[in-house]
Each structure stands twice: as structure tokens, then as C-alpha cells.
Amino acid sequence: MKKVEKVLDTVMRFLMALAMLTLLVFGTWQIFTRWILGNPSTFTDELLRYVLIIAGFIGSAYCFYRDEHLALTLITDKAKGPFKLCLDIFIEICILFFVVYVFIFGGFKLANTATNVSSVMHIPMKTLYMIEPVCGILIVLARILKYVNLYTEKKGENK
């Protein structure tokens, strides 16, 4: 299981680094063509917009994987014992429901109904919308790996 986690971590970190490098390179190119050449590049604005959205989705999946996503812990910090366990389980079920329904189901539905193309780069929007279900699958995979790790740790403690 650790090997799967390591591969998932490496892939997501690589994708984030690639997105950041793309933002840096093409952002610099956009500034150079606009201010130095006086003739702004037409495709970089659209490319940067899509790469930033993709980076946001991949970043959210990575935060779920590392268990560092935004959380309001006002109630969970004060809870103790069985109530805390039930509350944690309820929160995880809500997260999985949201991710499966909105990211995966909604993302596939959105991608399958998209028929238009981007205005400058002529990329099918269906291709761009696929980042949502892909990141949803990564989030679900990350949560499953977390559950497996918790289960094996608890099993190891009981021996």
C-alpha cells in the first residue's frame, strides 16, 4: 500500500510542479510580448486561465491526499470518545458523497454534454472539463488510502 501512496504522491507533485512551471513560463512570455514587443500573445491568456484552474483542482486533490484541506474544527476539536468517532465518520461520508456526486458524477456529466471549443486554442471543452472527474477520482483514492492506513494501524495496535 505504501508503494501506491508514493506513486500517487509523486504523480500529483509532478503535475503541480508542471502546472506551476507552465504558469511561470507562459506568464513571463505574456508579459514579454505585451510590454517589450508591444504585441501581446493571443493564446497565453487562455492557456494561463485553464492551467490555473487545473492547478487548483490538482492542488485540492493533493490537499485531500495529504489530509491538509480546509476544515472547520470548532466542533470536532471539542468532541470526545464515541461521539468524536461518529462525527469523524459522518464528516468523511459527507466528503465522499460530495466528491462522488459533484466532482465525479457531475464532472463526467459536464464533460459529456460539452460540445463547444475554446475560443483561441480550439481545445474541446470536453477535454478541459475532464479535470474535475479525474481529480474527484484522485480524492476518493486518497481517502480510501487513508482509511486503509487507519484500519491497518488500528489492527496493529490490537495485536
Going from the C-alpha of 157 to that of each of 88, 113, 150, 151, the distances in angstroms are 20, 49, 11, 10
Provide the mean pLDDT of the chain. Answer: 89
Q: How confident is the model at residue 51 (pLDDT cuts 50, 70, 90)?
A: very high
Grid look-up 459522518 returns: 90
CA 78 – CA 136 distance, rounded (Å): 30
- Residue of 107, 114, 110 lying closest to 133 (CA atoms): 107
pLDDT at res. 159? 62
Rounded to the nearest 5 percent, the helix, strand and coil shares of the chain are 80, 0, 20
Cβ(133)–Cβ(111) under 8 Å?
yes
- pTM here is 0.83
Q: How confident is the model at residue 1 (pLDDT cuts 50, 70, 90)?
A: low
Domain boundaries, the chain: 2-158
The fraction of the chain above a pLDDT of 70, given in percent, is 98
